């Protein structure tokens, strides 16, 4: 039972880390996209 709880905890931590990384990548991409879009419009 404790082994299963440990596995679940590890899985949740890994999932949270993955989610944070994905959110950071998404923010970076959105930032870059809006910047290039803004530069294209100002030309």
In a domain, 13, yes or no: no
pLDDT for 1-43, tens place per residue?
778 999 999 999 999 999 999 999 999 999 998 888 887 877 6
In a domain, 8, yes or no: no
In a domain, 1, yes or no: no
Number of structural domains in the chain: 1
What's the CA gap between 10 and 13, in Å, rounded?
Answer: 5
Domain that holds residue 33: 18-43
0.85 exceeded by pTM: no
């Amino acid at each position: 039972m404790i082994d299963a709880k440990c596995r679940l905890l590890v899985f949740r931590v890994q999932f949270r880390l993955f989610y944070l990384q994905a959110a950071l990548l998404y923010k970076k991409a959105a930032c870059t996209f809006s910047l290039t879009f803004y530069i294209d419009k100002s030309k």
